[in-house]
Chains A and B, each alone.
Chain A
Amino acid sequence: MEDIFNGIEPQVYKSQISVPYQWWAGETASKFFITLRDEKKILGKQCPQCGKVFCPPKKTCTYCYVETNEWKEVGPKGKVLTYTIVYRQLASLKKKVPVACGLIQLEGSDNAMLHYIEEIEPEKITTGMQVEAVFADEKSASIHAISHFRPVK
């Protein structure tokens, strides 16, 4: 800053950007969500070339650059590939801390789904732990049709 600005109190313009959006989920995620809501079934989608099954399902294979074409039921059991327990009430969080979140590979799937891990003391979660999907009481065609994952008893 040059000397001519000495003694000038910095002024701050306070504002916020609030823009409503609606993102279409696309055909692949739509079928996945509707099946979750109406049938409580978790669907993955398979690549015809490498045979990998993706859940959450994807329209295209991340490896082969072809469209996935076959629906496969996966889960509801799976294993925790990695996880975190959030202790600080970060501004982005929707829930009260501690919040445990992990990447969960469902049985029959080759990739992993991000979701909450609950019904366990967070400190007792381990990598590789077997978990199962718990469906939400409230029906919604979204990823939150699954309420959370819990340890397999």
Chain B
Amino acid sequence: MEAAIIGIGMTTIEKSKIGATYADLVWEAVNKALNDAGIGIEDIDNVITTSSDFWDGRTISCMAVGDASGVRYKNCSAVEGDGTFGAAYALARTLSGDYNTTLVTAHSKGSESISSIITNAAFDPIYQRSFGLDMISASAMQARAYMHATGTTAEQLALVSCKNHKNAKDNPYAQLPMDITVEDVLNSEMIADPLHKLDCSPVSDGCCAIIIANADFVKKLNVKPVWIKGVAFCADAYFMGDRDLSKARALEEAAKKAYTMAGITNPQKEIDIAEVYDAFTYQELMWIEGLGLAEYGKAGTMLEKGMFNKDGRLPVNPSGGLLSGHPVIAAGLYRIAEVVLQLRGQAGERQVNARRGVAQGVNGLCGQSHCVWVLDKDK
């Protein structure tokens, strides 16, 4: 695949960025991405904005960031959902041959609404919404299904939280860097059994932008491109009752396709770093397995052995992940941006030794759909 990521821009992830509108966040992230690529807005051929009307409290919210992303008189399209899906659309546009460069933005300000009410609205109104579940309580059902099927323990879940909050101490963009113990997690408030407060990601504000370019455009630049080797997404059934919640079948399918595109036959050996969508502790373990980076049900044990630590065989979320800051919608694009920094060797204190990495985004309740990106330092 002849396309690369040539620039990334992230705002810091914070509990409440009260001084900025979400368009201000997009402005900041886009300008950082342009500076990172060493180009100007005039070099951007088309734009994909990623947002959610419910989170933004405004219909056609994608258009509200038009000025901030420089879309005037340009082809701009929008994706509702996670930023990785917006980036997949951007990649397709770049590869179409019609555009040299595509800018992708993804933003949200969780601080401006009530996340429980927003995520309750993801449920079907005829059969399900009236029970009052939200993202946390729905995920709690999945956590239990996964733990029941695999024997993964509450202590192993807690260890994910300890690892990621500790990793966040090396990430200047993270919202919740901290040293905590397994006991701290298990003693934190039980919000929805089996998920404690410290098993859950926080509500956050943030914006991420990336720029994708074709190989011809990359040649003109004086930057380190990160090459896109494989991208795939896959969806499962909408109703949770129509799925086996203990398994991430859609992720397995997406990962297989992305690895095939990238020529990867043994991801456990060939992937050096993973940034996965750890909205909840159990999800990091489930997604590691769904990505083929551990056998089903074995990620908890591998975590205990330190294999996913920053200095382990396969560092997972050296950024601190979403547990350390979760701007919904932007979350998956941050995962891509973090892998880009790692592969360029520009990840600062959180740098690991990596040539090839995988980033993952999720859309929908309990991982209904997944988007997998395989990125490489070399063409």
Residues of A within 8 A of B (CB): 1, 5, 10, 12, 15, 17, 21, 23, 25-26, 29, 54, 56, 58, 62, 81-88, 90-95, 99, 101-103, 105, 111-116, 122, 127, 142-144
Contacts and interface: CB of A to CB of B under 8 A. Distances in A.
B241 A103 contact: yes
9 contacts: A82-B144, A82-B246, A88-B191, A90-B132, A90-B191, A91-B114, A91-B134, A112-B240, A127-B148
B52 interface: no
Interface stretch (B68-76, B118-126, B176-184, B220-228): B118-126
B192 A88 contact: yes
Contact of A82 (B148, B189, B242): B148
A31 to B, nearest CB: 13
Contact of A90 (B20, B134, B245): B134
B242 to A, nearest CB: 5
B68 to A, nearest CB: 15
A111 B117 contact: no
A93 B137 CA distance: 10
Nearest to A116: B131
Interface secondary structure of B, over-half rule: mixed
Which one of B117, B119, B145, B239 has the greatest number of beta carbons of chain A within 10 Å? Answer: B239
A143 B48 CA distance: 40
A88 B130 contact: no
Nearest to A91: B116
Contacts of A111: 239, 241-242
A143 B145 contact: no
B57 interface: yes
A94 to B, nearest CB: 5
Nearest to A103: B241
B128 interface: yes
A93 B116 CA distance: 9
A142 to B, nearest CB: 8
A79 B246 CA distance: 16
Contact of A127 (B120, B133, B144, B239): B144
Given A17-B57, A103-B241, A84 B140 contact: yes
Interface residues of B, number: 40
A114 B133 contact: yes
A144 B126 CA distance: 11
A27 B8 CA distance: 49
A15 B116 CA distance: 17
Contacts of A84: 137, 140-141, 144, 192-195
Contacts of A25: 126
A138 to B, nearest CB: 14
A90 B116 contact: yes
Nearest to A100: B193
A33 to B, nearest CB: 9
Contact of B134 (A1, A92, A103, A144): A92
A84 B137 CA distance: 7
A6 to B, nearest CB: 11
B1 interface: no
A147 B119 CA distance: 24
A19 B57 CA distance: 12
Contacts of B127: 29, 56, 113-114, 143
Contacts of A142: 130
Nearest to B58: A17
Contacts of B246: 82
Given A84-B194, A112-B240, A143-B127, 6 more contacts: A81-B245, A87-B189, A88-B192, A101-B133, A114-B240, A127-B148
A72 B57 CA distance: 42
A1 B246 CA distance: 44
Contacts of B137: 84, 86, 90, 92, 101
Q: Which of B130, B137, B194 has the most CB of A within 10 A?
A: B137
B237 interface: yes
Nearest to B115: A91
Interface string B216-251: 000000000000000000000101111001100000
Nearest to A25: B126
B60 interface: no
A5 B192 contact: no
A99 B19 CA distance: 37
B145 A23 contact: no
A83 B117 contact: no
A54 B127 CA distance: 13
A90 B141 contact: no
Contacts of A144: 130
B136 interface: yes
Which 10 A-B pairs rank lowest in CB-CB distance, beginning with the nearest?
A92-B120, A112-B241, A84-B140, A82-B145, A91-B116, A93-B132, A85-B193, A92-B134, A92-B116, A90-B116
B92 interface: no
